Amino acid sequence: MSAPLSGVRVADLSRVLSGPYATMLLADLGAEVIKVEQPGRGDDTRAWSPPEAGGESSYYLSLNRGKRSLAIDLASPEGHARALRLCAEADIVVQNFRPGTADRLGLGFADVAAVNPDVVYCSVSAYPDGHPEEGQPGFDVVLQAESGFMAITGEPEGEPVKVGVAIVDVLTALNTSTAMLAGLHKVARTGAAEHIRVSMLGSALSGLVNVAQAALVTGTEPERYGNEHPSVVPYQPFQAADGKVLIAAGNDALFGKLCELLGRADLAEDPRYASNALRVTNRETLLPALAGRIVEWPAEKLVDALRTAGVPAGNIRGVLDALRHGGSSVTAQLEHPTAGTLTMPRPGFRFTGSETFAPLPPPFLGEHTDAEQEQE
């Protein structure tokens, strides 16, 4: 069966993570994605190594499968004309230049809409329109600091800590891909070009969901809870006899099952722990009581017993361990000209009857420049 986005053409003028990840998701869904890169240098992530495979940085490889690469100097008259022709033929154009740069290059929304009146044009920036820092550049770690992500991450008595992956870029990419697909739907209905603006800060604050809402409701800054949860108890790692396990008893019924399995049914009957709100209030007495029984169990045996009882629980795995444990349900392979067989994480969605993993390897810099020029 044809892929969901078969026939959709994307002109990708973005770089680093948020834009390229968003367009790779579209490529996984079957869109034709044409990546425009600076000659001789290319996407910044091409230089972000080690590690690398086959002479290509793993960072770049992780974000660019399923695409073709054109090396175009956007600042030259010839390069500008070529890029504008590409945009004129695209269903979607996405860029994450610093605000104002695309306009100066003659590739802003007005320029593209003039030659492509039903285009979906997406601008990705660090800060939203009207924000005090509007127009400022921003990398993920800066936005983790500015959004509050760092303030809520880490141990209660420790320093603010960034998340171990570029989480703001990832959230921005997911917002971008969602908005671009909605843009296609709107343009199909109206026939008019659409300019979508996605910001990293807006994506981060939206991604804080319940934490952000709690801050607004209470008028107070959220605290850091380390691996515990501010609103659910028990919902955290515990030390077992030979390792750590993660237990998430997110409601009263699950708490009761946990207590029964541990031989502490009395805790579920204790009025101090009769509801989640009370367990949150009295966590300082409850958690040691649970921990005293959990530490007697071998980790694997406890996880198996909890899952059998219907209590969400898991092992605390390393990234490589998690990928290998999931096997083909979470990874897929493609052939790369220099790296050989390349195993990559799958996207987090599947379509019945359609493969949702772009088989083309991440392209070399400018690999398709000449072929595309011949088609013109």
In the set 28, 103, 169, 242, the catalytic residue is: 169
Q: How far apart are alpha carbons 373 and 31 in whole angstroms? A: 20
Complete edge-to-edge strand list for the sheet that includes strand 313-315:
235-239, 244-248, 313-315
* CA–centroid distance for 340 within its chain: 26
Structure tokens at 159: 């320093």
Pairing mode, strands 194-199 and 120-125 = parallel
Contact 290, 263 (CB under 8 A): no
Pairing mode, strands 9-12 and 92-95 = parallel
Contact 69, 59 (CB under 8 A): no
- Whether 252 is a known active-site residue: answer no
Instruction: Tell me how crowded residue 29 is: count the other CB atoms within 10 A of its CB.
Output: 23
Q: Report the candidate in 21, 66, 6 with the shortest Cα–Cα distance to residue 360.
A: 66
DSSP string, 191-252: -S-EEEEEEHHHHHHHHTHHHHHHHHHH-SPPPP-TTS-SS-SSEEEEE-SSSEEEEE--SH
* Residues facing residue 335 across a β-bridge: 341
3-state secondary structure of 317: coil
In terms of DSSP H, where are the helices of the chain? Answer: 18-28, 58-61, 77-88, 101-104, 109-115, 140-147, 167-190, 200-207, 209-218, 252-261, 265-269, 276-281, 283-294, 299-309, 319-326, 369-375
Q: Report the candidate in 175, 180, 177 with the shortest Cα–Cα distance to residue 202.
A: 175
Q: How far apart are alpha carbons 316 and 244 in whole angstroms? A: 7
Residues carrying an active site annotation: 169
